[in-house]
A and B are shown apart, each in its own frame.
Chain A
């Protein structure tokens, strides 16, 4: 960051491009055998075994208030460590890693959808579209404990 660039892992959720600071991303994986957890919060899709660790799977679509995709294409997940625990964030498609100029970072547009604004840490204007920087801590911190 000191050299003026930030690296992001990009992901598309509901057609919108998001960027996760690469330092926070542990891995990207295709979730398999997700065990649903009854009575858990709405955003929690379940738990799965990722190389011997139990990972809590969070469905970002649900958290962003987007319709839950019901197509059969297995979504991808981005592995995040948050407060010593492992989480997997379900996304639709994982994109390339972008190296962006820190100068191109802007604050949240004032009219950003409040659900998005809650998890957004500003935006980057790219040539073709706008990338929302996903604030991982706020996204995970905002999950209700349970229904």
Chain B
């Protein structure tokens, strides 16, 4: 392509984007002469260049638009119609430019329609200019033919340019165009000869650059990319040199190498910086989009943009541009109400969309908030059910926040009436997929009647990451440090050892069973001694809400690496996300934590809708439970939540001691009672006896079972309540009706004094109100708290809890689930804090997973403490603390 034309296209496209933004601003501030001046100058520059490059169609069109803008400057009232018309003209110009870029020639055709309208607006609305008011010398000019569409009389033009500051001060080049147009009729006389057009351009450019842009030069993106690649290689080479130098003590290379190292680091940083661009670049088109939506649907919308100068990697910028545009359009189209509706809701007519960006902990946080009606939870519920994404039963149990998350599910769209603006087949699922792709997270908050906000967190850059180097079957692999939670050393006889349930390996870590994945078998590189993984390391990783352990042979150090994309022949291996060159010059594969997490059975059952919700708390995910499936007494499967099980043991039946029909074994220096899980189960006569061990405060009991079958992850919905002691009820787990055991029933069977000895520390039984929507947890926790010496009352919802509190104020402490449908734990706490009778009542929150966000929120609403749902010990400790505070205060 012609260099000049390319330059023109780049520059004009940029100018047009500015004009878009400025025009929208101008519409709101029609009296701001400076904005108008800017617009005028930009359009004028475009027009001038078109003339120079001989692009008549573009020239005529810009010319007509310019004439209308000239009218504005003369004091013609700025109407929405007029601005729309100019915007439409700009769109046409953009179309023409696109064509031009593709074919290097202007498309044939005619813009008479627009030009007529523009002209019509000029003549129809313009106040008759008083020539006398025009400064400068005017010569009466005659054009010996009627004006063509889009043409303005010469004197008017002349006057317009005399009054225009900046580039227009230069003798008007449009006049030259006019002259050309009029050339068949040379009688048109022009006072000053038109100067060569190119002279005008630099002047105009300098002027507007000085105002709008800092001095800069244009560099091809490719150039930057290849610089980045070279710097990456330099970094790798430096790492290699450092590695060599480490092996040679007292080397004279040390000092210069250090210097090289520092310079390289600075260079890397500098190059990274060139890739950084303000996020505002991705926002540029938004004011225009919001305006268009507002005009089309008859809303009044204010778009606030905060933190436009927040910088992020160019690559990321490109990737988030479309999702952001989509979400802002969504807010404008669906989020905000019509003015009448807003008025009746007591809100100002004008809706606000607030877009903000800031850096936080090595990430960029982008928030899109509107003050609209909030999400229509009922509509989402219905849609979820009709789309078959969840059953009515499931949905009924979900909190509003959980229901809202469904808008990220594939193929979901809430717009019942698809307007021409949104409803373009791009849903929030695509947005989420885009965000996922760049390792970001997306979260959503909606307040009925008050608005919705979407919070996106993305990394600063994709290029450089910290990894942990591990070894498996003699090969080294890199694991992104970001997903690594902790490292655990396992040995056959140490506290941490790998236990196996059928094919599933688990690790007991702080009283939790952690599912394990063996990297070797995952990668099918088993070197034959796969059975002997009793001695090795476990990398505990967290992907989204999934926590699991990855078994590796050895762990080396961490290294900062430059991620290189995989060859196309290797790209479809889900276990790897990239590769890189290490300090010693060898290539290493980077393990993709997402790929590993997918292989855990859980990922499949959970449904795509939730997989990528990032840090969403576990309770949001249909409340799936890891269940231990076993058989006892019959072929009918039985289950118990694995989080309640401390250990799985297989003991030699000969070590079982019996007295008075009760069975014991010596276990960890204590006598552990063995309890049959039901009347039909018998101790084995010989061989090994499988046991489920439950521990609490140093005391353990063993539940006798026939066979441990599996660990599965599934939703736990008790379908049929049981009248039998020791059984909560039946649930369908993995398609099979399964009896769910009530562990709390067995504890007193093991120790008759189980309840008593724990209660003895507290002379007065404190009264606890336990609120949880899941009967399962109420059934599990109530006996635990009872056993710890508390007098427990349960409630199935916040409302029920409030009723109980109001009827009897004699509670010492409230323990509430956080995620509940309707009023959630946070809202409940807030209500209690605002009630003079309960403002000092300690409230302990229970969450399936305690995230920093949740803790922050809890603190905000006034929770006294936050405990993970299965952390019984933590809960008892928290209760003790809260009630003893109370005692001291009293």
Contacts and interface: CB of A to CB of B under 8 A. Distances in A.
Given A36-B475, A38-B524, A54-B579, A143 B589 contact: no
A145 B531 CA distance: 30
Contact of B585 (A38, A49, A145): A49
Interface in B561-581: 564, 567-573, 575-576, 579-581
A45 to B, nearest CB: 11
Contacts of A47: 567, 570, 579, 587, 589
B573 A146 contact: yes
A40 interface: yes
- The 7 A-B residue pairs whose C-beta atoms are closest, nearest first, are A38-B523, A52-B233, A56-B567, A35-B587, A47-B587, A33-B586, A39-B573
Interface in B687-723: none
A39 B586 contact: no
A85 B567 contact: yes
B561 to A, nearest CB: 12
Interface in B539-595: 564, 567-573, 575-576, 579-581, 585-589
Nearest to B571: A145
Contacts of B233: 52
Query: Which bucket holds chain B's interface residue count?
Result: 20 to 34
Contact of A40 (B476, B573, B587, B588): B573
B575 A38 contact: yes
B573 A37 contact: yes
Interface of A: 33, 35-41, 44, 46-49, 52, 54, 56, 83, 85, 87, 143, 145-146
Taking chain A's interface residues, is the majority helix, strand, or loop, or is none over half, making it mixed?
strand
B553 to A, nearest CB: 14
A33 B237 CA distance: 16
Interface in B81-119: none
Contacts of B586: 33, 35, 48-49
B570 A38 contact: no
A54 B587 contact: yes
A145 B568 CA distance: 8
Contacts of B587: 33, 35, 46-49, 54
A40 B588 CA distance: 14
A83 B568 contact: yes
B471 to A, nearest CB: 12
Contacts of A83: 568
Most chain A C-beta atoms within 10 Å of own C-beta, residue among B233, B569, B573, B585: B569
Contacts of A33: 585-587
Interface of B: 233, 236-237, 475-476, 523-525, 564, 567-573, 575-576, 579-581, 585-589
A40 B567 CA distance: 11
Nearest to A84: B568
B690 to A, nearest CB: 34
Contacts of A36: 475, 525
B581 A49 contact: yes
A46 B570 CA distance: 10
Contacts of A54: 564, 567, 579-581, 587
Contacts of B236: 52
Contact of B569 (A35, A40, A52): A40
Contact of A56 (B475, B569, B573): B569
A99 to B, nearest CB: 32
A76 to B, nearest CB: 19
Contacts of B524: 38-39
Contacts of B589: 35, 37-38, 47
A147 to B, nearest CB: 8
